[in-house]
Amino acid sequence: MADVNVTSDMVCRGRATSIPNSWVETFLVAVFASAISVLRTGFVFGLTSNLYHLPIVAGLYDEPQYHDDGFIQSLRYFASGVWLTLSGVEKYFDNVPLLFFVLFFLSRLVSFVGFLCCASLLGVTERRDKIVFSLILCFIAFLDGYSYAGSGGLFINYFTHSEMANGVALLAIYFAARGRFTAAVVAVGITAFINAFFAAWLLPPLALIGICHLSQRKATIGAISSQVLIGLILCLPLLFVVLRGFLANPEFGHPFDLANFLRQYFPGHVLIDSTSLGDIFGLSGVTLIGALALFWPKRVAPELRAAYLGAILVYLIGIVLPFVTGSPIILNLHLLRSSTVIHLLAALAIAALATNWLRRDREAAFLPACLVVLFVTFEGWAGLALVTAVLIFGLRTKAPGPAPSYQRTMGYLVLATAVLVAYPLAIWSGVNFSRICNEAVSEWTDIGKWARSNTPLTATFLTPIRPELDGRADVSIADMALDRGSVFEFVSHRRVWVDFKRGGSSVLTPSYYPVWRSRLTDVEGLNSSAERIAYASRNGIGYVIDICQGPAAGNGVIHRTKRLCVFSTETNGPTIRKDASSAMKRLAG
């Protein structure tokens, strides 16, 4: 164990002539793994939460047509240092999709650097081991998408600021585990700059790591305190930017029934009683896998065990808090979303354990290791149950000698199945899903470009109201086109009346909530294009976007893509006007 610690310390700390080469090696492996991971997930510009980010990048809140738009104005107070930095950047760099892709790749790269540094604590130090470890991570199913029972972003297919914090959080844990608390606090400060509530999730894990150091007499309270103080001083500029962003909001701290709002909007980050049993069992399975991989083997870094317990503690606190307080500030810590950290550490542990088992390819652990490599690519409960069963079997195996030849043969067959079948299928699935998303986004981009060139600056659009579709297995391209409109307002610079996703800005400015709730209720009650056009006409909305009804799409269409049609409430043909008039009378009655 001492040799492992010395080697890991040299890999990621840097104190000898060979260490720069180790750093370069780690970085190059991380670049390679990031490229494979991005190929696995794909990349799409303008999805889901980009609805909030793109207006900031475009600086829409400074444009005259948005002076009284509650949603757009609320985005002034989106207090992430990432978006405060990128505010209005489109004026200076007009290729925003390229910018988002570069940031997306860098975010994934930092994640792999963090994983590799933490893995060095678990004995993954040789070049071959780093490559194997990283490849396993790329295809772990429970790292793909969002965490169970909390919906924190992991390896997703679009850029957001929160996922940038994943790798920085792993580095904070690594630095604390190595006793470098100044660097750990700086990493927490960077995390707070990116996402303040993610930084809050790190405090208990790092505190338990500190207690672990004290109990092992690796450090004193005075030494840790002085390092923490220096780190805090270094972080002050970053913390000031974020704090100023919060305090600039005139509605910060205003009373708001956040729990009630979340039940109407999206309770998954905060309220356990609104979480499905399937998600709870899924997180339990991930947690169990991480615990087996970290706590059963004797040769494992105790600091990582402490961090894992701290992550679980944060989640347990998140379960209890909504039953104790309704404070918006406390609930806005999104403690259930900290399941992200549990997923990250569980993936780290299982990938490192499988890598170490594969190193001993002549021992009895080789076949279980190959089975783990295959089964972690399976989605859902089946994969989690199979990995758990193999772990229990493998960890109970005491025989240190060579495995029978038939076991080695079976192991190679399983490994070949993973590499030649499971991995390509995972890549194909990610690429195909991203292709569908990109098709939908391109239609909205086309509509947005048309609107910017052919409608008045003050034009308002009624866009489709659809729920999130990411979890559905039967998503049609038509449905996807309806649900991928986040890019429209960014491209068009034209106002949107309402959509479901905009409700999230009620957390920033509670005064927007009644506007959003009222409009959404009205629009959700409309059952046809005619009713939507009638409603738009009554509310001074000049244009309606809807799914095209057949190739011809009927009268009144002034612009269309393959699946989306634009109607004008001013220039509809006689048929559509008649239908709208009938719908208006029905609504009035």
89-93, Cβ contacts within 8 angstroms, sequence gap of 24 or more: 89/57, 90/57, 90/58, 90/59, 91/59
Question: What values do phi and psi take at 358, rounded to 5?
Answer: -65, -25
How is 169-181 classified by DSSP, letter by letter? HHHHHHHHHTT-H
Distance CA 290, CA 387 (A): 11
Q: What is the dihedral of CA 530, 534, 540, 541, to 10 degrees?
A: -20
Q: What pLDDT was estimated at residue 55?
A: 96
Residue 60 token pair: 């829409």
Q: How far is CA 227 from CA 234, 312, 371, in A?
A: 11, 26, 43
Task: Determine contact, residues 369/357, Cβ cutoff 8 Å.
Answer: yes
Q: How far is CA 43 from CA 130, 157, 430, 563, in A?
A: 25, 5, 9, 22
Q: Which amino acid is at 312?
A: I
Distance CA 576, CA 528 (A): 12
Distance CA 270, CA 432 (A): 32
Residue 361 token pair: 């390819």
Give the count of beta carbons closer than 10 Å to the beta carbon of residue 99: 17
Please tell me the pTM assigned to this model: 0.90
CA 238 to chain centre: 22
Distance CA 120, CA 130 (A): 9
Distance CA 362, CA 357 (A): 10
Q: What pLDDT was estimated at residue 274?
A: 92
Question: What values do phi and psi take at 505, rounded to 5?
Answer: -75, -5
Q: What pLDDT was estimated at residue 548?
A: 83
Residues of the chain with pLDDT under 70: 1-20, 299, 360-362, 397-403, 466-484, 550-555, 571-589
What percentage of the chain reaches a pLDDT higher than 70?
87
Q: What pLDDT was estimated at residue 407?
A: 81
Q: What pLDDT was estimated at residue 255?
A: 85
Q: What is the dihedral of CA 246, 248, 251, 252, to 10 degrees?
A: 20
For 179-203, write each residue's pLDDT tens digit: 999 999 999 999 999 999 999 999 9
Classify the phi-psi angles of 271: left when phi > 0, otherwise alpha if psi is within -120 to 50, otherwise beta: beta
Task: Determine contact, residues 569/541, Cβ cutoff 8 Å.
Answer: yes
Nearest Cα neighbor of 42 from 417, 431, 362 is 431
CA 534 to chain centre: 38
Residues composing the chain: 589
Q: Which residues does residue 22 pair with via DSSP β-bridges, in sequence order?
A: none
Q: What pLDDT was estimated at residue 23?
A: 82
Residue 170 token pair: 């792993």
Task: Determine contact, residues 37/105, Cβ cutoff 8 Å.
Answer: no
Task: Determine contact, residues 485/493, Cβ cutoff 8 Å.
Answer: no
Q: What pLDDT was estimated at residue 465?
A: 77
Q: Which amino acid is at 154?
A: L
Query: 273: burial class by Cβ within 10 Å (0-12, 13-18, 19+)?
Result: exposed
Nearest Cα neighbor of 331 from 268, 243, 275 is 268
